[in-house]
Amino acid sequence: MPGMNTTTTEFRFEDSDTERLDLISALEFDTLPFGIIRLDTEGRVLAYNRAESLYSGLKQQHVIGRDWFRDIAPCTNTAKFFGKFKEGVAKGIIDTTFDYVFTRFSEPTVRVHLLKSPGEDVWLLIKRL
């Protein structure tokens, strides 16, 4: 599989193996060294890992169940971000990477990887550059 480390089950930011993401344990999810958020197709947060919580300053329990694009990160409600999310959900396929600046922080730039699960969920991976 592209990007997978074949000697371990470690998931890396560059991976696009959504089946592996769907099977990741809660402990693995929470200990990944980059931000990772699981959204439903409406944009509601289903899971939010510790790395993203530490960076954003938002507690995990504060974001679960809320709308990512409206309530949590309204600066992502743009054509570049939300537009790609909506387009991918409509097509049933998302696997796109782009750089972004969350206006709440002004910097640093992050690399965002949006991935659609074989099921209904969308993964949002965020890596600080």
Residues 37-80 pLDDT 10s: 999 999 999 999 999 999 888 999 999 999 999 999 999 999 99
Percentage of residues of the chain with pLDDT beyond 70: 84
Q: Three-state SS for 88?
A: helix
69 within 8 A of 43, measured Cβ to Cβ = yes
Give yes or no for a cis peptide into 118 (omega within 30° of 0): no
- HSE-CB at 52 with a 13 A cutoff on CA atoms is 25
pLDDT at 16: 67
Bridge partners, residue 105, by sequence: none
Q: Is pLDDT of 92 > 60? A: yes
pTM: 0.84
- pLDDT class of 102 with cuts at 50, 70, 90: confident
Encode burial over 16-51: b for 16+ CB neighbours within 10 A, e otherwise: bebeebeebeeebbbebebbbbbbebebbbebbbeb
Task: List the one residue out of 79, 94, 78 whose CA is nearest residue 41.
Answer: 94
pLDDT at 69: 96
